Amino acid sequence: MSAIGKGARAELKGQRPSILWMTGLSGAGKSTIANRVEEALWRCGHHTMLLDGDNMRFGLNNDLAFTDADRVENIRRTAEVAKLMLEAGLIVICSLISPFRRERMLARQLVGADEFLEVFVDAPLDLCKQRDPKGLYARALAGQIPNFTGISSSYEPPEAPEIHLRTDMHDVDALAEQILDVLRRRGVTVCGP
């Protein structure tokens, strides 16, 4: 056990550690908004970390595929890493499809209620297919990617997310501001628009 607690580490950083858990379909806008929020927080002097589903899968989770069981393990490991970073005093932004309610709940339960914000990055499936920023829907629809969320694997939308972002209705700046507003009200940042 470390003699220095998470409160002491956070105090040194002068910030209130939190986890922002961004969930949504591929192409909904999670990474785009996560990057915008991280940049705003960084400009304001906050120490942040972005855990992106893709990056996690390159390294720590490169033994996992996209079966339901592996998706569950992907979320579990990412949540545990986020928790360690939270204890290090950071504001952690997790950007993962994280399709299942149960695993998002397990991630939430790893940390304090006031330390976790679930952000539903919401866009209709048809719009995500049109955007298809990585060409993944085209490949999934051609049968080249098994277990693809929204096509051949299910997505369970959050029932009570702290923040609900409609990326079909608002631009990235407005949505990032919606998150920053909640962080200001929670006392995580005083970062202005």
| Catalytic residue numbers, as ranges | 98
Please report whether residue 19 would count as binding ligand ADP according to CB under 6 A: no
Q: Which is nearer to ligand ADP, 18 or 98 (CB)?
A: 98
Element (H, E) at 42: helix 30-43
Considering only residues 49 through 108, tell me which ones interact with ligand ADP, judged by CB under 6 A. 95
Query: Of residues 167, 183, 188, 189, which one binds ligand ADP by CB under 6 A?
Result: 167
Query: Of residues 171, 185, 190, 192, which one binds ligand ADP by CB under 6 A?
Result: 171
Written as six digits, the tokens of 61 are: 């989770």
CA–CA distance, 111 with 144 (Å, rounded to integer): 38
Which residue stretch of 13-21, 22-30, 56-64, 81-89 sits at the interface with ligand ADP (rule: CB under 6 A)?
22-30
Q: How far is CA 87 from CA 17, 32, 83, in A?
A: 8, 26, 6
Written as six digits, the tokens of 24 are: 């949504």
Q: How far is CA 113 from CA 74, 87, 118, in A?
A: 22, 14, 11
Give contact residues for ligand ADP (rule: CB under 6 A).
24, 26-33, 95, 121, 131, 133, 167, 170-172, 175
